[in-house]
Structure 1
């Protein structure tokens, strides 16, 4: 009895099995550790950039000395970070990014002129946001709010 034709079929099946096993191991490794770690790193980086941009826009919104100040500046923020909503709020002379993921977030100290006596308000992601600056020469209020 001649079984030479059967050995070719068995060889091909073993080769396909090894390739499928290799692809399965690589996929499991990537989705089990590498890809989620990369997504967290990208989310943290986007959070830092968003906070830095928000800080810069607030500082730029304050006009030079004048008798009466009334300014509104639109601020563009990403709708989500790492697929989740977030908020940016005023805390003293700083902005704080609050996110459900503890690795994403932080705070940024603002450099404000002495005439700014109050920084208040909060932005929610996904809403059109503005910085409103109002007051007189010696008492200026900076407010983070949703665009009306």
Structure 2
């Protein structure tokens, strides 16, 4: 009795089993630790960049000293950060990014001229947003709001 043909089949089955085991281990390792950690780091970085961009747009929206000030500047923000909605709001003279993930967020204070009396308002992600600047030479109001 000759069993040589059976050894080839067993060899192929063992090889396929080892390949499937390897793929399963690599997939488990990536999705169990590496990919979520990377996504969290990217979310944190995107949150920081979004807040920095919002701060820069607020600073740039204020025109030079003039008798009457009236300006509206559109601001583009990501719709989500790490797959979740967020908001940017004012807190006194600062901008604050609020996100459901406590790792993502931050606070920054725009460099505003002395003539700016009020910084107010809030932006919600996913909505078209603008910075509205109004007032006179000595008293300027800066407002974060949704575009109408």
For 2:146 and 2:12, locate their aligned partners in 1 and report how far apart those are by CA, in whole Å. 64
- Shift in Å, 1:82: 0.9
For 2:60 and 2:32, locate their aligned partners in 1 and report how far apart those are by CA, in whole Å. 43
Aligned to 1:142: 142
- Shift in Å, 1:102: 0.8
- Shift in Å, 1:64: 0.8
Aligned to 1:4: 4
For 2:110 and 2:56, locate their aligned partners in 1 and report how far apart those are by CA, in whole Å. 8
How many residues align structurally? 148
Aligned to 2:105: 105
- Shift in Å, 1:30: 0.4
- Shift in Å, 1:135: 0.8
Aligned to 1:39: 39
The Cα offsets for residues 81-140 of structure 1, whole Å up to 9 and x where unpaired, read as 111110000111111000001111101111010000110000000000000011111111
TM-score scaled by structure 2? 0.98
Q: 2:56 aligned with 1:30, yes or no?
A: no
SS state at 1:120 partner: strand
For 1:2 and 1:147, locate their aligned partners in 2 and report how far apart those are by CA, in whole Å. 82
- For residues 36-115 of structure 1, the aligned pairs below 5 Å read 36-115=36-115
The Cα offsets for residues 9-54 of structure 1, whole Å up to 9 and x where unpaired, read as 1011001000000000000100111111111111111111111000
TM-score scaled by structure 1? 0.98
Structure 1 regions of 5+ residues with no counterpart?
Answer: none
For 2:132 and 2:126, locate their aligned partners in 1 and report how far apart those are by CA, in whole Å. 18
The Cα offsets for residues 65-93 of structure 1, whole Å up to 9 and x where unpaired, read as 11111111000001111111100001111
For 1:15 and 1:147, locate their aligned partners in 2 and report how far apart those are by CA, in whole Å. 61
For 1:20 and 1:111, locate their aligned partners in 2 and report how far apart those are by CA, in whole Å. 57
C-alpha RMSD of matched pairs (Å): 0.7
Return structure 1 stretches of 4+ with deviation > 2 angstroms: none
SS state at 1:60 partner: helix
Structure 2 regions of 5+ residues with no counterpart?
Answer: none
